[in-house]
Amino acid sequence: MALLIKATDDKKILIKGTSIEVDSVYSRIETVSRADGSTMEVYLNYYASKEQFESNEPLAVDIEIKTIQIKDMTSEEEQGVNFGLSKAVEVFNGQGYEASEV
C-alpha cells in the first residue's frame, strides 16, 4: 500500500539537508495493529518514485511525519492496512500536503 504525497504552495518537500525541492514523493507504509483492538501505528518510508522503492533506494526528505499513532478506534473502525492508509492520507492532507492512495 502506498501514498503519493505532493508538495503544495504552502507545504514544500525538500531533500533533507539541501534546498532542493521535489514535487512529490512516493511513500510505502507498514502498519502494526495492537491486541487491544483500538490502537495501531502506521510507519512511513519515502522514495522518489515507485521505481526507487522497487530498487530499495529510499529518499531522505524533510517531511517530519515518520509514524502516525492511531488511538481510540471505534468499534466500526477495523484495524488494518486499508484503514491505516486512509488515516495517513487524512494526516498529510491536514498538514497541508496533497496526498492520495496509489
How many CA atoms does the CB half-sphere of 39 hold within 13 Å? 5
How many CA atoms does the CB half-sphere of 47 hold within 13 Å? 17
Residue 78's pLDDT is 87
Please state the separation of Cα 26 from the chain's center in Å.
9
Q: Whole-model pTM?
A: 0.93
- Residue-level pLDDT, tens digit, the chain, 102 residues: 899 999 999 999 999 999 999 999 999 999 999 999 899 999 999 999 999 999 999 999 999 999 999 998 888 888 999 999 999 999 999 999 999 999
